[in-house]
Amino acid sequence: MTSDAELIGRSLAGDGQAFMEVICRHEGAVGAYLARRAGREAAEDLLGEVWVAAFESRGTYDRSFAGARPWLYGVALNRLRRYWRSRPAEDLVPDVTSLGGGWDPWPAVDARVDTQAVLRAALARLKPEEREVLTLVAWEDLTAADAARVLGRPAGTARRLLHQARTALRNEPGVAALLTDLNRVKESQ
């Protein structure tokens, strides 16, 4: 099968259909990535903007990477950041000033059950880049190196961020209690 890199090359040479083929390959994954971070409604609005932004910036794509999915996640992340910045503060978090970037939406995400509430609260307390690497690995099944491509950071930095995120989560009292309970139940079974 033709690689994404080859298709992007063909697209740069004027073959519009080639870029559409790249989109068809990854639209499900990128749509899910957006939905997990902004909800379905917003994701549906953002997806087209992501494709347009990707098309306009495809000249910068590093074609030594055969697969374009991490790059597309990176484009999607940039759109998400703009989206989050554009949201009214009350939609995000009651105390925005307590967060480093001032646009972090995670604390506002609804918690449906206790376990999820504990986890989401713990995720919300991570630094944005730590959380992004962690969720890229846990939810999008990327390696730390691919997560680094998404963030435009060196692979070593992504690995460090992942390590810090995991350590911080493990040390969160609520998460630590959950892990203890779950592993105790497993052992007793």
Partner 1 sequence: MTVDEMDLVRQLKGAAPLRPGAYEQAQAMLRDAMAESGRRTRRRTLSLRAKAGLGAGIAAAAAAAAGIALVVTPAPRPAGAAGAVPQASPVTSRLVSLAAMIKASGGTLPGDASLVIRTQTIDGKSPDVSYNLYTDSGAFYGGGDKKSLMQAVARHEDDADGIDAREVAAARSAAGGDLAAARVRMVNASPNYLGLGLGPAARKKIWAQAKAKSAEIYKEKGIEFPANPPAGKALQEDADNYLWNNSVEALSAGGGDPQVREGVLRLLSTISAVTVANSTAGGQPALTLTAGPEVFGGAGSEVLTVNARTGMPVKAVMPAEGNVPSSVQTFQVSRVTLAGIEAGRF
Give min distance, CB of 112 to partner 1, in A: 10
Q: Which is nearer to partner 1, 93 or 175 (CB)?
A: 175
The tokens for 21 are 């083929």
Q: Which is nearer to partner 1, 8 or 47 (CB)?
A: 47
Q: Which is nearer to partner 1, 14 or 173 (CB)?
A: 14
CA–CA dist 102, 115 (Å, integer):
26
Q: Which is nearer to partner 1, 44 or 62 (CB)?
A: 44
Q: Which amino acid is at 184?
A: R
Give min distance, CB of 183 to partner 1, in A: 6
Give min distance, CB of 97 to partner 1, in A: 26
- Closest of 158, 16, 160 to residue 73, by C-alpha: 158
Residues at the interface with partner 1 (CB under 8 A): 1-2, 14, 16-17, 19-21, 23-25, 27-29, 31-32, 34-36, 39-40, 43-44, 47-52, 55-56, 115-116, 119-120, 123, 134-135, 137-139, 166, 169-170, 175, 178-179, 182-183, 186
Give min distance, CB of 115 to partner 1, in A: 7
Q: What does the chain come to in residues?
A: 189
Give min distance, CB of 150 to partner 1, in A: 17
Q: Which is nearer to partner 1, 118 or 155 (CB)?
A: 118
Contacts of 80 (CB under 8 A, 6+ apart): 34, 37, 38, 46
CA distances from 129 to 6, 31, 75, 90, 162 (A): 30, 21, 15, 23, 9
CA–CA dist 167, 74 (Å, integer):
25
> Could you tell me if 73 and 150 are in contact, meaning their C-beta atoms sit under 8 angstroms apart?
yes
